[in-house]
Structure formats: C-alpha cells, structure tokens
Structure 1
Amino acid sequence: MSSDIELTANWLRRAKSAVVFTGAGISTESGIPDFRSPGGVWSKYRTVYFDEFCRSAQARHEYWTQKIEAHVAFAAADPNIGHQTIAKWEEQGRIRGVITQNIDGLHQIAGSQNVLELHGTAREVTCLDCDWRSPVDPFVTQFRETNEVPLCPECGDGRLKHATVSFGQVLPELTLNRALRWCQEADLVITVGSSLVVYPAAGLPEAGKRNGAKLVIINRDETGLDTIADMLIPGSCGEALTAIDAAI
C-alpha cells in the first residue's frame, strides 16, 4: 500500500491539470449518513419525483418532510481531514478543483473555491417559478414550526424547493458540461468515496481516462470503474488522502 500511495503522490506532484471527484463516502466520515444505505432517508420514504413535486401540493409536503430529516443529518457536520486536504491541494495549485456528487457544502466550508456541485446544494432553496435563491435555514425553521410548505417570498406564491437535483430532474447542463471539460482536459483524476455507478456523473472520470488521464480510485468498496483504474486505494478516504499528502 505504501508504494501505491507514493506512486499516486508522484502523479499528483507532476500533474498539470488534476481533478478530484467526490461522492458520499468522503462525507460519511463527517458523520453524514449515506442516504442510499439501509436506514438512510431514501430507504425510509418513497421517492418524490420532480414532476410530482411540481404538480402536487401533497407531494411537496412529503418532500419537505424528508428534506427536514436529511437537513438534521448534515447541518451540524464539519469538514473532515479529507475535505481539508483537498482544499489544501487546490490552494497549493495541485488540483484544478473538485467535482462532487454531494449536496452538503462541506468542500466549500473546508475552503475549496472551485467546486462543481453536480447534484446542487441542500444549503439553499430555489423558487421554481422565479429562480430566486436563498439560504435554506429560515425555511427549515418555518416548516418545522408550521408544518406548512413555505412559499417564495420574492414572487409571493412560487414553489420553493431545495436547490438540489431531484429524481426525474435533469442535472444542470452548464455544470455538467464544465465538469466534463475539466475531466477531458485532466492528466489525473482522483475519485474519492464514490461507487461510480450513478450516471451521467460516473461517466466523468471515465471520460478523463478515455482522454489519457491517470485514474485513481479511493473507496472502501468496489466501484463501477475499478477495471479501468490505474490505481485502487481501498479504505478510509481521509486516511488515504492524508497519506498521499504526506508523501508529496
């Protein structure tokens, strides 16, 4: 394992355009549960699809009930050593930025500046009718106190939704295209804590590999791209990133 860490550190040291791609595994080390896992929010509630949210007041209430529970899980979480190491690498100019599937905002809190959030952010709400955006916390409090779905204060009666990508909702095209360009132009892609099975997001590291980038996968379990990876580092995300950083 030490030789794998040393080789990865050498690749990162020599990289001209490195990109880090993160999934839920890095945030579980901050105490945020993987919502896909047994006992997670998605296993306890039925899925509220985007088109249903748009047309049904009852579905919007069910959606907000689910989101409130998820909010409790991440609102008090702090970035861990993995987030901090990635932010350090960006500050040092070792990586171009972070592409993340996570919606918790921990990369930004850790200090990362160039973050592409493929699935949006749960730290803000957006109005589907007028595009107004705002921090989520006041509306979480409002829903808890009234048990009524909040309406947009900007346009008066707009449908407020967390600024995340729901099931059945397309990923933001500009963000996805920018992330694809980063990976296609990369000479090193390091994926951290992602199962790499959810597309189109998982296609981004794959595109980097197809265009000549080294692909490093750090994850506790097997992933969908293990067979094409140049390096597999199993285990804790934070421990692996710390070890790579120490070896640089």
Structure 2
Amino acid sequence: MPDRRARILVAEDDEALSVLVTYNLEAAGYEVRAVADGLDALEQVGSWQPDLLVLDWMLPGLSGVDLCRRLRARGGNMSDVPVLMLTARTAENDSIHALDTGADDYLTKPCGMETLNARVRALLRRSVASTGGTAPSIVQDDATAVLRFVDIVLDPVSHRVTRAGRVLALGPTEYRLLEFFMRNPNRVFSREDLLRSVWERGVHVESRTVDVHIRRLRRVLNEGGLPDLIRTVRASGYALDDVSGHVTL
C-alpha cells in the first residue's frame, strides 16, 4: 500500500490567511483541509484524523487553546497529534500559555510561509520519531543531520539537545538560536544578523531582545558550572566557540 501524503488540518477564521496557509502547504505536498470554527476542527480531528493541526489561538465556537487542551485530555490515538499554534499575541507569557496547554510550537502572526513550512516539517518528523510509527509522505529537507559542538549534541529531528550527556530544556527561541549557532560555529553574528536568521520575518523585535534570549540560553547551557561556549564580542555580537575567558552579559 503506497504511503499517503501527510494530512494537515488548518483552523483559521481569517479567510485570507487561511487561503494563504492552505495554498502553501498544498504546494509543499501535503493534503490540507481548512475550517474556520473550533468545533468544526474538533469534528474533523475525529473523522479525518490529521497528522498535524495548525490552530488559530482565537477561533469562534471553540478557541484553539481550548481545542488543544481537550485533545490532550481526551486520550486515544489523536491525543498526541502535533499542534502548531498561530497567534497575534506577542507577549511571552501568552506563548508560554499556548505551550502549557499542550501546543508543540507556535508562530506569531503575520508569519512567513517559509518559516511555517519549516516548523511543520520539524513537527511531523518529531511526531514520527516519538511514536516509532510509519511516516506518511513528508517533504524532506537537508537539515536533518545531528549537530555536535564540543560536548553539545543537537538532534534536529527529535529536537533533543544534550550537553555532557544531560538533556537540556530549551524554549523555542533558545532552541533556534542554538541550532543556528551550531550550524555556524566560530563565527560572530550581530544582533541584527540573529534577528534576520532566527526570528520570524515581518515581526518587529527589538535588537536587545536577542540579549535576553542569549542570557536564557547561557543559563541552561552552563548549568552545573560548565564552561561558557557563547562568546560576546563587544560592539559586534555573539559567537559559539570554545575560547576561554569570554566577556559575558
């Protein structure tokens, strides 16, 4: 029996955005259904059994957050379906709330379609890896090799990061920062470089926000007194290297 295409359910009440997301996901090779109501989305989950959900935070009938919470609580074969939340909310505590309700990832609107497709690919790969099941056809990219730097190991497929054998709990932005650094070690990047490469396009973020996430990434990486591998270059930016004696924030 041939592999079927991965099924993606898009629940978005902004018609223009729904059409754009659906068009791009179908162009990437997925089978897509779009609904504009949370209750319709819940019905489709049961009858169509998608491989991934793209949910707007605020939906009529049943919000995306409440829908995600119901799915996680109900049990059964669809309780672990990956959920990518779309939200116009930009406050960090809102994003944390979305993740706490069971969402696997989130994007703030407006979001670039390349970023959306990359997140979808990553979530589908993680879902297959965690269940050990047979994957539906998923559009592949070249960025699946395990990354290593000194004693840090990052697996882009499972999103698992370890340092000195200890599993690290990273937030989504800190994970993307570390992955970018590990793909470009020993190079200095300005805050503007990092904003262009790590953050979603079209979203205004102050350059000093980079410093906040660098501090959080350092805190997790250096827990237990491990050497600091993120170098601060005054007036230039940051680099991942193993040179001792860096200047920290």
Q: Same fold (TM over 0.5)?
A: no
- Specify which structure has the higher proportion of helix: 1
Give me the TM-score of the superposition, normalised by structure 1. Answer: 0.25
Give me the TM-score of the superposition, normalised by structure 2. Answer: 0.25
